[in-house]
Amino acid sequence: MVKNIAVIRGDGIGPEIVEQALNVLDKVSKLYGHTFNYTDVDMGGCAIDKYGDPLPEAELKKCVESDSVLLGAVGGDKWNGVPGNMRPEKGLLRLRAGMGVYSNNRPAKIWSQLADASPLKKSIVDEGIDFIIVRELIGGIYFGEHKTEGDTAIDVLTYSEAEIERIGRIGFETARKRRGKLCSVEKSNVLDSSRLWKKVMHRLADEYPDVELSDMLVDNCAMQIVKNPSQFDVIVTENMFGDILSDEASMITGSIGMIPSSSLGKTSCGLYEPIHGSAPDIAGKDVANPIGTILSAAMMLRFSFDMPKEADAVENAVSAYLDAGYRTADIMSEGMTLVGCKKCGELIIGNIRKD
């Protein structure tokens, strides 16, 4: 198959980690007889420096017209002084909205090889950590009006029934393909938007009798994720709650550097990115963990290109790399072999096989 991939290297460690993911895709294309064409897209701080805009229309167009987008990370202290609507992160939000990718899927799964890296007690980890956060990605407070008037700042949070329903359906369908448990997370004891959220989820539940729906307040959920993570199968939640809970969920699996994500809308053109940031403090030092990005590329193969065998081959290669005892600094532990970003990529590529 021929696939056109828009590639956003971004800022900080973005270029290094994306390079390794592209090397992985090249190996897959050679082994499996595909052609992957890459189109570079400027977004984030580097685009501000070049064009004075974190995502010029022409760059967004390249993404919308691609078969999928692979993104490293954007942002950094360098651009802290720029106005809110011109920040590097604004480029990312415009990209998500412009692509219409309303459904963000963030897995929290512990790799057995990294059980020691979890900050949780062994007895809790041993119960199992394997859940997915389905985060609404293009609505809510992120996309409401933001303004400052004198000494008062205003951010508006809005959700319509239609916006809640479409992400709710993804939650139910994701749970249906897994262990059949969906936990809807909101703050219905305080927010109107959360009361609407809860009402819509319960209306949808009638259409998915095979899925067990539960409700949880977001503050309680933050606690339950560290207290008893094995209770979760699929969590569905709104944009900002999902942002916060997914960082928490990633940490209990050992390292935020390991977690990929997919974002999809109505078409198969998805946005694939690790959930971590641009880590400017370690940029250019060849110490970043590229696995979150490599696994995001594997998700692209699986969910946008319908290449499950190729995706399995990449995930198995990551697992074999961990089995062999190699670790980047973020997940390093005693007795393991420390490697840099480039070496990590090379070792994983060496493990990719065609079954």
Enumerate binding residues for Mg ion (CB under 5 A): 243
Chosen residue from 67, 233, 238, 243 binding ligand IPM by CB under 6 A: 243
Please, what is the minimum distance in Å from the beta carbon of residue 203 to ligand IPM? 27
x/- map, 79-108, ligand IPM, by CB under 6 A: ----------x--x----------------
User: Nearest 5 degrees, angle CA 261-CA 263-CA 265?
Assistant: 165
The smaller minimum CB distance to ligand IPM, of residues 92 and 317, is found at: 92
Please, what is the minimum distance in Å from the beta carbon of residue 75 to ligand IPM? 6
The smaller minimum CB distance to Mg ion, of residues 243 and 330, is found at: 243
x/- map, 260-289, ligand IPM, by CB under 6 A: ---------------x--------------
List C-alpha distances in Å: 353 to 30, 325, 326.
Answer: 11, 19, 19
Distance CA 159, CA 136 (A): 10
The smaller minimum CB distance to ligand IPM, of residues 92 and 349, is found at: 92
Please, what is the minimum distance in Å from the beta carbon of residue 355 to Mg ion? 35
List C-alpha distances in Å: 80 to 14, 89, 306.
Answer: 18, 11, 39
Distance CA 299, CA 261 (A): 8
Please state the φ and ψ torsions of residue 107, each to the nearest 5 degrees.
-75, 140
**Single-letter code of the amino acid located at 242:** G
Look at residue 92 and give the partner it binds from Mg ion, ligand IPM, none, a contact being a CB closer than 5 to 8 Å depending on partner kind.
ligand IPM
Q: Is the dihedral of CA 78, 46, 97, 299 positive or negative?
A: negative
Query: Token pair of 101, please?
Result: 């990718």
Look at residue 130 and give the partner it binds from Mg ion, ligand IPM, none, a contact being a CB closer than 5 to 8 Å depending on partner kind.
none
Beta strands in the chain (DSSP E): 2-10, 35-40, 68-73, 103-109, 130-136, 146-149, 152-155, 181-186, 212-217, 234-237, 262-264, 270-272, 326-327, 337-338
The smaller minimum CB distance to ligand IPM, of residues 113 and 237, is found at: 237
Which of the residues 26, 77, 116, 219 is marked catalytic?
A: 219
Query: Token pair of 89, please?
Result: 């992160």
215 is catalytic: no
142 is catalytic: yes
The residues annotated as belonging to the active site are: 142, 187, 219, 243, 247
Question: Which residues contact ligand IPM by CB under 6 A?
Answer: 75, 89, 92, 243, 275
